[in-house]
Structure 1
């Protein structure tokens, strides 16, 4: 079939991790699909701000991968999709956990040989390879994981952590050996990783995204009394204590303020287009920008 269309859909491969399956973060070099003035203005604004559209590609070689519900864009090859509920009892437990936490625990499982491309996003992706490890993340950050990873819900250890920690009563726990992909609202250059050895880290705000199993999370007063905390101007702090890793993204506070104040120059819908993840690392293995056809 002849056509005048030159399908030069070249993307830049930002990073790649290989295990039972291959995970690639692809980035669209440019978006030129504007067909009206408003869309063209937004695309120009995004181009000037270096806001890029990214997409996760997963190459299956007989293994399986869990993804967030409704995250699929398209797939190629003999790949079967199922939901691993663990029988009637397992389904009941997952249903209860989902209703309580507000996060869908039953995630689709893709298994076979071929490739999967998940929906494009203006967010950023962190690929992690766990080796008999456990991490705890905010619910909305999970994007995909190999089926060798156990995905479950964990509860806060104290009432104060749940009530005043901004994360709610429940978070997502990922454990085992395999690859995990998180969708995060800031680029990797703005993530701070702290390695604690029987130490303590205190933060004022909701910008922690990950902690490992050896870290205990609590919410504590800045001073010995609640009244003193009020006068100090700091109030309550999130406290991470123990041995392990904590990931922080302090610039998220600035982006949240920018979104709440709205976009300049009358671009009313821009903040809906460029929103935070959840909203629908050792990262880059290839910083030279391989081209992916």
Structure 2
């Protein structure tokens, strides 16, 4: 089947993977050339210089199936059938799970042979291959998975740790074998993969985007005593124990700091303008 990229020179494939009857391509728009607004054009110029480019995922299905995030479909072509993934046997469970977790009740499934192109995004896409394993990712990261991968919401084992650690009560479990696409706030080059072998990892902040399901997750004081935690200035830390992998994205904190500073600066400037206006 012809690639979704076609002959357009403005789009290039930055990542691809193939497993069984599914091939995935991550496309990147080198420039967005359609703006007719000068202010928007200035924003697009600086976004391009900072590698803030629109990216899009194309999935080529050959007698196979994929599950996608609700609302992610842009268009599809060929002999593909879209089903809701909900039937009489699991409708009640899906409805309860959606009410508790805030996730959509149905995750669309596309079966058959054809091409499925998902919505563009300024976020980054990670393409992974699962081999009879299970990983846990943050809510909002799941984008697409091959039919051999089971996607479900899982509750944190320790409710107090979930709330204190900033991970939330529920995350997404991906288990089985096949290709998975995750939507990530940072590119793969800014992710540190930490391998644990019956070891302990302590993380100051909520920037672990993925972990092996075999790991135990808790939130604990950074020091043995409450006083020691207060003196060190670290307070609580996220702790991962066991054998498996943890994917850390430390630069998330950098971008968060920049965004917060910009928002505070805008608020400060707005207040100054209002004061100036009132003084006239």
TM-score, length of structure 1 as denominator length = 0.84
Asked whether 1:204 is paired with 2:177, we answer no
2:203 & 2:265 partners in 1: Cα distance?
34
1:88, distance to aligned residue in structure 2 (A): 2.8
Identify if the C-alpha distance between structure 1 residues 152 and 105 changes in structure 2 by more than 3 Å, giving closer, same or farther.
farther
1:117, distance to aligned residue in structure 2 (A): 0.8
1:264, distance to aligned residue in structure 2 (A): 11
1:265, distance to aligned residue in structure 2 (A): 11
Q: What pairs up with 1:20-59 in 2 under 5 angstroms? A: 20-59=21-60
Q: Deviations over 1:160-206 (max 9, x none)?
A: 21220101111111101111110100011100001110001000011
Identify unmatched segments of 5+ residues in structure 2: 1-6, 267-280
**Larger Cα Rg: Structure 1 or Structure 2?**
2
1:14, distance to aligned residue in structure 2 (A): 0.8
Identify if the C-alpha distance between structure 1 residues 237 and 14 changes in structure 2 by more than 3 Å, giving closer, same or farther.
same
Contact 1:11 1:27 survives alignment (8 Å):
yes
Classify the secondary structure of the residue corresponding to 1:140: coil
Asked whether 1:61 is paired with 2:72, we answer no
1:224, distance to aligned residue in structure 2 (A): 2.1
Give the match for residue 247 of structure 1: 247
Classify the secondary structure of the residue corresponding to 1:113: strand
Give the match for residue 90 of structure 2: 90
Aligned residues: CA RMSD: 1.8
Give the match for residue 162 of structure 1: 162
1:227, distance to aligned residue in structure 2 (A): 3.7
Identify if the C-alpha distance between structure 1 residues 10 and 44 changes in structure 2 by more than 3 Å, giving closer, same or farther.
closer
Classify the secondary structure of the residue corresponding to 1:23: strand
Give the match for residue 195 of structure 1: 195
Classify the secondary structure of the residue corresponding to 2:258: helix
1:251 & 1:187 partners in 2: Cα distance?
10
1:44, distance to aligned residue in structure 2 (A): 1.2
2:264 & 2:166 partners in 1: Cα distance?
29
Q: What pairs up with 1:10-159 in 2 under 5 angstroms? A: 10-19=10-19, 20-85=21-86, 87-159=87-159
Give the match for residue 273 of structure 2: none
TM-score, length of structure 2 as denominator length = 0.88
Q: Deviations over 1:41-82 (max 9, x none)?
A: 111111222221110000011111111111111111121111
2:10 & 2:254 partners in 1: Cα distance?
33
Which deviates the most, 183-192 or 157-166?
157-166
2:40 & 2:264 partners in 1: Cα distance?
15
2:96 & 2:9 partners in 1: Cα distance?
44
List structure 1 runs of 4+ shifted beyond 4 angstroms: 263-266
Q: What pairs up with 1:273-292 in 2 under 5 angstroms? A: none
1:260, distance to aligned residue in structure 2 (A): 2.3
Contact 1:198 1:243 survives alignment (8 Å):
yes
Contact 1:105 1:152 survives alignment (8 Å):
no
Which deviates the most, 26-35 or 244-253?
26-35
Number of matched residues? 259
Contact 1:131 1:178 survives alignment (8 Å):
yes
Classify the secondary structure of the residue corresponding to 2:167: coil
